[in-house]
Amino acid sequence: MSIFIVVNNPEDWPLNIHGAEVIAAKTYLSDPRFSDLRGLKIFNLCRSYRYQSVGYYVSLLAEARGHKPLPSVNTIQDMKSQTMTRFVSDDLFELIQRTLAPIRSEEYELSIYFGRNFAKRYARLSLTLFNLFPAPLLRARFIHNRNWQLQSIGPIAGNDIPDDHKPFLLQTASEHFAGKGLRRRTQQVMRYDLAILHNPAEAQPPSDAKALKKFIKAAQQLDFDVEMITKNDYGRIAEFDALFIRETTGVNHHTYRFARRATAEGLVVIDDPASILKCTNKVYLAELMSRHRIPTPNTSIVNRGNMPAVAGTIAMPCILKQPDSAFSQGVIKVGSKAEFITEATRMLEKSDLIIAQEFMPTPFDWRIGVFNREPLYACKYYMAHGHWQIINHNHAGQPREGRTEAIPIEQVPRNIVTTALKAANLIGDGLYGVDAKEIDSKVFVIEINDNPNIDSGLEDGIIQLDLYTRIMRGMLARIEERKGERKPR
What digits encode the pLDDT tens for the residues 350-388?
889 998 999 999 999 999 999 999 999 999 999 988 888
The whole-number pLDDT of residue 183 equals 37
* pLDDT above 50 (res 93): yes
Q: Which of 177, 207, 223 is the last residue of a domain?
A: 177
- Residue 79 is part of which domain span? 2-177
Q: Which of 116, 148, 177 is the last residue of a domain?
A: 177
The whole-number pLDDT of residue 365 equals 95
Same domain, 340 and 241: no
Same domain, 236 and 93: no
Same domain, 53 and 157: yes
Helices (H) and strands (E) in the chain, counts: 16, 22
The whole-number pLDDT of residue 188 equals 56
Q: Is residue 283 part of a domain?
A: no
Q: Residue 486 — pLDDT band, cuts 50, 70, 90?
A: low
* Torsion angles phi and psi, residue 324, rounded to 5: -105, 25
Q: Quick check: helix, strand or coil at residue 228?
A: strand
Q: Quick check: helix, strand or coil at residue 244?
A: strand
CATH number for the domain harbouring residue 320: 3.30.1490.20
Same domain, 264 and 346: no
DSSP label at 292? T
Q: Is residue 285 part of a domain?
A: no
- 51 versus 226: the higher-pLDDT residue is 226
- 325 versus 200: the higher-pLDDT residue is 200
Task: State how far Cα 485 lies from the chain centre.
Answer: 25
Q: Of 14-23, 187-196, 449-458, 461-470, which range is least confident?
A: 187-196
Q: Which of 125, 155, 177 is the last residue of a domain?
A: 177
pLDDT tens-digit profile of 254-289?
A: 999 999 989 988 899 999 999 999 998 888 998 999
Q: Is residue 394 part of a domain?
A: no
Task: State how far Cα 296 lies from the chain centre.
Answer: 29
Q: Determine the average pLDDT of the residues in 103-115.
A: 94
Question: How many percent of the chain have pLDDT more than 90?
Answer: 66
Same domain, 28 and 82: yes
Same domain, 205 and 314: no
Q: What is the DSSP track for 357-423?
A: EE----SEEEEEEEETTEEEEEEEEEPPTTSSSSEETTSTTS-EE--EEEE-GGGS-HHHHHHHHHH
Q: Is residue 439 part of a domain?
A: no
Three-state secondary structure of 125-167? HHHHHHHHCCCCEEEEEEEEECEEEEEEEEECCHHHCCHHHHH
Q: Is residue 123 part of a domain?
A: yes
* pLDDT above 60 (res 296): yes
The whole-number pLDDT of residue 259 equals 94
Specify whether the CB–CB gap between 137 and 7 falls below 8 A. Answer: no
Domain count along the chain: 3
Q: Are strands 242-245 and 268-270 parallel, antiparallel or unpaired?
A: parallel
The whole-number pLDDT of residue 350 equals 87
Same domain, 81 and 9: yes
* pLDDT above 50 (res 489): no
* pLDDT above 80 (res 187): no
* pLDDT above 70 (res 485): no
Same domain, 243 and 339: no
Q: Determine the average pLDDT of the residues in 431-447.
A: 95
CATH number for the domain harbouring residue 262: 3.40.50.20
Q: Is residue 446 part of a domain?
A: no
Q: Is residue 115 part of a domain?
A: yes
* pLDDT above 50 (res 182): no
CA-CA-CA-CA torsion sign (274, 280, 281, 282): positive
Same domain, 353 and 216: no
Q: Is residue 105 part of a domain?
A: yes
* pLDDT above 90 (res 415): yes
Same domain, 251 and 197: yes
* pLDDT above 90 (res 39): no
* pLDDT above 60 (res 487): no
Same domain, 201 and 224: yes
pTM of the model: 0.76
- 158 versus 212: the higher-pLDDT residue is 212
- 65 versus 397: the higher-pLDDT residue is 65
Same domain, 172 and 202: no
Q: Determine the average pLDDT of the residues in 157-168.
A: 85
* pLDDT above 70 (res 179): no
- In the predicted model, what is the mean pLDDT of the chain? 90
